[in-house]
């Protein structure tokens, strides 16, 4: 966060460390897809940069998905409006309303219904503004209806909240929001992906393991 012209803004810089992090995410996505026999080609870095631009935000607005206002964009940095309440992971970890997870599920369902997937769909990529939820970090979006990509969205969100004590309640709320827009339950593949990704997201392995053992049949319609 920085202050420019008396206004708080978020500045995302195209640093080598950021590029390396994106490299890992892109190829982890492809590797997992091959291991699960759903091969998917990785995004190029030019596609990642383009996804953060004005056109993608305009397309998402048309389908009812709010994003932070893009103030400027160059080859070296991107400047967005500052969202005061922060990401929903922190809110949920601090006993915030689980309706935040419901609204994240609604956003994911709207994207899938329109043929988009986020790929990197962790709770930290959703921002709270009062009772509203806004989707940020759009770089890994794809125009695809593939079963694997949609399961990656669901699995990455669930994995990102598995270290929270209220995981069961949060996961059900996310599920219900998703079903209200997409009209279908989660695929079992999303639970497999959740389990694969959870080690990388978790800050509390004991809680994550306990939550991994919870019955997930209510999420996949069994």
Q: Tell me how far apart the alpha carbons of residues 18 and 21 are, in angstroms, rounded to a whole number.
A: 5
* pLDDT tens for each residue of 38-55: 666 667 777 888 899 999
Residue at 219 is within a domain = no
Q: Tell me how far apart the alpha carbons of residues 63 and 71 are, in angstroms, rounded to a whole number.
A: 21
Residue at 96 is within a domain = yes
Residue at 221 is within a domain = no
Kindly report whether the global pTM for this prediction surpasses the value 0.75. yes
Tell me: pLDDT of 141 over 50: yes
How many structural domains is the chain composed of?
1
Q: What is the pLDDT of residue 222?
A: 56
- The CATH number that applies at residue 137 is 1.10.510.10
Q: Tell me how far apart the alpha carbons of residues 57 and 54 are, in angstroms, rounded to a whole number.
A: 5
Could you tell me whether strands 2-4 and 70-73 are parallel, antiparallel, or unpaired per DSSP bridges? Answer: unpaired
The two three-digit tokens of residue 208, written as one number:
């994550």
Residue at 220 is within a domain = no
* pLDDT tens for each residue of 76-94: 788 999 998 999 999 999 9
- CA distances 181 to 109, 127, 133, 184, 187, Å, are 5, 19, 15, 8, 15
Residue at 108 is within a domain = yes
Residue with tokens 């988009």: 116
Domain that holds residue 63: 2-212
Residue at 72 is within a domain = yes
Tell me: pLDDT of 58 over 70: yes
- Category of 44 on φ-ψ map: left (φ > 0), alpha (ψ -120 to 50) or beta: beta
Residue at 218 is within a domain = no
């Amino acid at each position: 966060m920085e202050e420019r012209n008396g206004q708080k803004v978020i500045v995302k810089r195209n640093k080598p460390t950021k590029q390396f992090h994106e490299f890992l995410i892109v190829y982890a996505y492809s590797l997992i897809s091959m291991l699960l026999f759903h091969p998917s080609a990785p995004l190029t870095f030019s596609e990642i940069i383009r996804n953060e631009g004005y056109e993608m935000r305009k397309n998402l607005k048309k389908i009812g998905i709010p994003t932070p206002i893009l103030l400027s964009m160059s080859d070296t940095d991107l400047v967005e409006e500052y969202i005061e309440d922060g990401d929903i992971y922190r809110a949920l970890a601090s006993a915030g309303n689980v309706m935040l997870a419901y609204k994240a599920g609604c956003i994911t369902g709207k994207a899938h219904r329109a043929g988009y997937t986020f790929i990197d769909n962790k709770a930290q990529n959703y921002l709270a503004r009062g009772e509203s939820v806004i989707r940020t970090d759009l770089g890994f979006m794809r125009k695809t209806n593939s079963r694997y990509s949609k399961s990656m969205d669901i699995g990455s969100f669930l994995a990102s909240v598995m270290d929270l004590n209220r995981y069961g309640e949060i996961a059900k709320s996310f599920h219900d929001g998703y079903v209200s827009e997409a009209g279908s339950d989660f695929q079992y593949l999303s639970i497999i992906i959740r389990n694969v990704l959870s080690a990388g997201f978790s800050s509390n392995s004991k809680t994550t393991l306990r939550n991994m053992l919870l019955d997930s049949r209510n999420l996949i319609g069994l």
